Chain A
């Protein structure tokens, strides 16, 4: 463990071909390879360009409303016995951290001269964030969303329509995020010359996992600065939910080399990992290849991708970003899980103690907080990434409350 941490601090991941150790890479059809190479070059140039960075930072500040507060949750702290801070990504424009990445990628798409943007979405937050920024820049936008998610996240469907995006309802497989991504990839391979594919998580082929991580790491950079300003030191724990992994890597990444900071990724245990109805990829999966990268994957004994279940549409995905698999195997991130029931309880708890209604996705991280904090000392510090707000989930939550 000591050795792997040492090498982690020195290694530069991903490598030139997008590998994070044995994970990552580019597993796509030949038609898309040139587009990915073009994207990689365009992103490398943009990353070095101070005017691109300035533009990105300006839109984060003026449009998305950053920096988001690092909020000291006083009542939770009193109840739980460790010092609890919430990184308030729910206060971003559109209501979740997703906008950080969509601003970055839409600016990049515009630089590349792309006239059309497509995206997949699960909870609808990435779809809304994409439709929002596409509207801001007057770019044609189509969002792929599974039929089941359309039903359970209807508020976000209405928002996307209002923002002028065309919604493509996907009816195949489990009718969720995985299938939306399959369909978005089919569209991209057909329209690759004119279309920019805006992936919303740290999944997919290189350079997406790296690029989305870079755009999302604004979360951790701010949190690091903020906690040092208020507490005069770094936190003991970072906690974030993990579906594809974008909000977690966004918070964790700037702390990777701070070895005193422990990191916990919380996966969706659905009805319970032992029932098989869950979406806990790292805890319940094996290494495989899906949607362009090698990573942990929920699959059956024949290598077919398994159907997943989570109350949180944004976590209902059988894959996980390759860098998270890498950091877990290197011993840097510990993974735990929360069931649907635990997430709902945590959602209620935060609503009643702090007056903040979290998204069901973020509620998984809060469920871990409720388990972890009572075991810690009073002066230990935990930062939870409150990745999104819960308005979109009121339909789902209502159904459960009535039961």
Chain B
């Protein structure tokens, strides 16, 4: 069983929504990321989205762009990210989803990537610039290896696209809560709950909500109707501000623990997926 499925059924049996923190691998270097991963797990993270740095992160706001630049400046490339996952797997069963852009993966070779990622212990992959229409080549390889390809839905997605993502995606559906790039925002769009309900009409897959989640209260609101909340830029902000590398992991952990408490306090309907 894929670790993502196992985690969502465990969350379901507890009647809880999950918390998925995003960190850019190698920001500012890979040993710090390993410490951050340990600290996120201890703080109650349910899965990890691990960002693969790319030179042209055109779907990302300023915060994740900077993280990506720091990681590239430190020389972190896809093979290092896979090595990091392999290292973390020796001590953890936390589901790990690689999150990034298609070109580094395409260039690595799709068959080689699927084999190496699975061997390292990666559970899922999400390429922000790879819509389902262009994913056949990649899915042929990932499905062979039991690696999940996760797709995004956005406020602009219509019924036809929801059906397409529901049919081709594996693991869960990532709902982008705002039309825009990644980044911490003060408010979330009001129609979020209705949008998630709309997606549920077409699928029984879990739905995670991301983009713009930054406070325990927001996380709690999302946990009331979605199956997981993703927190990215706000966490990168914390890591960026923490100064010396030694403090980055502890502060990231403290921040995620606060979000987790917010989620645990959320009132959830008995069965949402």
Contacts and interface: CB of A to CB of B under 8 A. Distances in A.
Contacts of A190: 179-181
B59 interface: yes
A289 B100 CA distance: 13
B28 to A, nearest CB: 17
Interface residues of A, number: 38
Nearest to B156: A34
B176 interface: yes
Contact of B180 (A25, A189, A291): A189
B77 interface: yes
Interface stretch (B12-20, B130-138, B230-238): B130-138
A297 B103 contact: yes
A291 B102 CA distance: 11
Interface stretch (B2-10, B41-49, B105-113, B239-247): B105-113
B58 to A, nearest CB: 4
A306 to B, nearest CB: 8
Interface stretch (B86-94, B146-154, B264-272): B146-154
A26 interface: yes
Contacts of B208: none
Contact of B59 (A189, A288, A303): A189
Interface string A279-312: 0000000101111100001010111110000000
The main secondary structure of chain A at its interface with chain B is mixed
Contacts of A25: 133-134
B56 A173 contact: yes
B56 A289 contact: no
B129 A302 contact: no
Contacts of B155: 31
A171 to B, nearest CB: 11
Given A192-B179, A193-B156, A291-B58, A29 B129 contact: yes
A297 B107 CA distance: 11
A337 B54 CA distance: 28
Interface in A287-345: 288-292, 297, 299, 301-305
A185 interface: yes
Contacts of A112: none
Interface string B172-200: 00001001110000000000000000000
A26 B154 contact: no
A29 B128 contact: yes
A28 B179 contact: no
Contacts of A185: 58-59
Nearest to B175: A30
A118 to B, nearest CB: 14
Given A33-B131, A190-B181, A305 B55 contact: yes
A31 B176 contact: yes
Interface in A1-50: 17, 25-35
A172 interface: yes
Nearest to A288: B103
Given A28-B131, A289-B102, A189 B179 contact: yes
A190 B62 CA distance: 13
Contact of A305 (B56, B77, B158, B176): B56
B181 A27 contact: no
Nearest to A291: B58
B165 to A, nearest CB: 8
Nearest to A29: B59
Contact of A304 (B61, B102, B104, B152): B104
User: Which of B65, B78, B134, B153 gathers most chain A CB within 10 Å?
Assistant: B134
A300 B181 CA distance: 26
Nearest to A28: B129
Q: Which of A173, A179, A189, A192 has the most CB of B within 10 A?
A: A189
B265 to A, nearest CB: 31
B103 A182 contact: no
Contact of B58 (A35, A186, A191): A186
Contacts of A28: 129, 131
A30 B161 contact: yes
B96 interface: no
A304 B151 CA distance: 23
Interface of A: 17, 25-35, 172-173, 178-179, 181-182, 185-186, 189-193, 286, 288-292, 297, 299, 301-305
Interface of B: 54-61, 65, 72, 77-79, 101-108, 128-131, 133-134, 151-158, 161, 165, 176, 179-181
The 8 A-B residue pairs with the shortest CB-CB distance, nearest first, are A303-B107, A303-B104, A302-B77, A31-B154, A190-B180, A30-B152, A304-B55, A182-B58
27 contacts: A25-B133, A27-B130, A29-B128, A30-B153, A30-B156, A30-B165, A31-B155, A31-B179, A31-B180, A33-B156, A34-B158, A186-B60, A186-B181, A189-B181, A190-B179, A190-B180, A286-B107, A288-B106, A289-B106, A291-B58, A299-B107, A302-B104, A303-B103, A303-B104, A303-B106, A304-B54, A305-B56
Given A30-B154, A302-B108, 16 more contacts: A17-B133, A29-B176, A30-B131, A33-B133, A173-B56, A182-B56, A186-B60, A189-B181, A190-B180, A289-B101, A289-B129, A290-B56, A301-B107, A302-B107, A303-B104, A304-B72
